[in-house]
Amino acid sequence: MDSSAARRERARHRRTDALAILGTLGLLERWRPLGAPVLVGSVALDLVVEPDIDLEIYSEAPSVAQGFAALTPCAELPGVRRLRFTNALDLDDKGLYWRLDYEDHTDRTWQIDMWWLPHDHPGPRATDLVDPLRNALTDETRDAILAVKEGAAAQGDPLPGVWVYQAVLEHAVRTYPEYLAWRARTPTGGLTSWRPTPGRKS
């Protein structure tokens, strides 16, 4: 049977890989002249299963032209396979989005999601979830999250992290089958402003 120690070790290795990729591509350095980049999501929480990296960048006024000027040079770097863009300033997400696909030395493709948002973005914002989650997580709930995520990954079912965190912390979900049962009775589409209940350790 797989152990919690093995799951934690795999997550640590994946996070190390993710941080190395950020350094190789220089993404934080590329964004800093334009705003304040924040590492969010599973890499920030040390709960990495899928090869995904999430950044949010905050400034007064996100700019399409400046964003492309910062990121277009990445397209010439070894391993970069694709760069996509969506202007969602007038949509629910209210920001500018770039996705960069990077193939590492093992031929695994990492998806790097970058949202450039204004300082007065109404939310929900992933950056507002990082500290509350760090405070709420225990060794046991961390292991449950990794178990759910790895179970999903084995079935080719990549899960939005926020719903896994909610299921584990608020509804005592501990396995991927339990998560599937919870998801079947819970709306998980669209944006969510969920935060862990303060002081609650599920």
55 and 115 assigned to the same domain? yes
Q: Is residue 198 part of a domain?
A: no
pLDDT on residue 158: 86
151 and 82 assigned to the same domain? no
157 and 97 assigned to the same domain? no
d(CA 143, CA 175): 10
Q: Is residue 189 part of a domain?
A: no
pLDDT on residue 202: 58
Q: Is residue 199 part of a domain?
A: no
21 and 65 assigned to the same domain? yes
pLDDT on residue 188: 87
26 and 68 assigned to the same domain? yes
Q: Is residue 92 part of a domain?
A: yes
Q: Tell me, what CATH number does 63's domain have? A: 3.30.460.10
pLDDT on residue 200: 60
60 and 86 assigned to the same domain? yes
Q: What is the mean pLDDT, run by run of 10 residues, along the chain of 202 residues? A: 88 97 98 98 97 98 97 96 97 96 96 97 94 95 97 94 95 96 90 81 59
The β-bridge partners of 36 are: 58
28 and 55 assigned to the same domain? yes
In this prediction the pTM is 0.93
Q: Is residue 27 part of a domain?
A: yes
pLDDT on residue 199: 64
Q: Which amino acid is at 202?
A: S
26 and 90 assigned to the same domain? yes
31 and 71 assigned to the same domain? yes
70 and 151 assigned to the same domain? no
pLDDT on residue 103: 97
Query: How many structural domains is the chain composed of?
Result: 2
Task: State which of 81, 106, 121 marks the end of a domain.
Answer: 121
Q: Is residue 195 part of a domain?
A: no
Domain that includes residue 169, residue range: 128-184
